[in-house]
Amino acid sequence: MRARRPTLLVTLALLAAAAPAGAQQDDPLVPAPQAPLQLQTQPPAPAPEDDADGLAPWQQALIVASGLVLVLGIGLFIVRDARRRAPVIAAFSPAPGEDEGGRARVPARERERRQRARSRAKASRRARKRNRPA
């Protein structure tokens, strides 16, 4: 019991010293006092008469027109590129370099060379068939 007394006395002394300091603090539940209101003696200055949008009508028209020109330019570029790269299918007339049947025109020398190559291939096939082991 004796050992508790000094501890109890020190605790009470500290609480007694802290009590005046605690009284200086504001209560957190009480609102802070407000500054006194000042009466305005002059009316506020009127705002300058500016457009609410910040752009004149001719500027808005210019922006819309430039947007349309840009979109049309992109569209024309896409169409032009698509027409260049699309395969050409002639419905009523033969394409250059073709005859009426849609076959490519081949020069006479080339036709003769192809005919000789075909006849040699046929001859070699017949020779292979004759020489097959039975």
Predicted local confidence at residue 49, as pLDDT = 65
CA pair distance 92, 98, nearest whole angstrom: 13
Does the structure show a pLDDT above 70 at 18? Answer: no
> What's at 22, amino acid-wise?
G
Number of residues that make up the chain? 134
Does the structure show a pLDDT above 90 at 81? Answer: yes
Confidence of residue 9 (pLDDT cuts 50, 70, 90): confident
Predicted local confidence at residue 80, as pLDDT = 93
Confidence of residue 110 (pLDDT cuts 50, 70, 90): confident
Mean pLDDT over residues 97-107, rounded? Answer: 65
Mean pLDDT over residues 88-102, rounded? Answer: 60
Does the structure show a pLDDT above 70 at 50? Answer: no
Predicted local confidence at residue 71, as pLDDT = 97
Kindly state the percentage of the chain with pLDDT values over 90: 32
Of the given ranges (6-10, 76-80, 95-99), which has the lowest mean pLDDT?
95-99
Q: Which residue has the tokens 């050992």?
A: 3
Which value, in Å, is the radius of gyration of the alpha carbons in the chain?
52
pLDDT in tens, 114-125: 999 999 999 999
| Distances, alpha carbon 26 to alpha carbons 14, 21, 45, in Å | 21, 11, 40
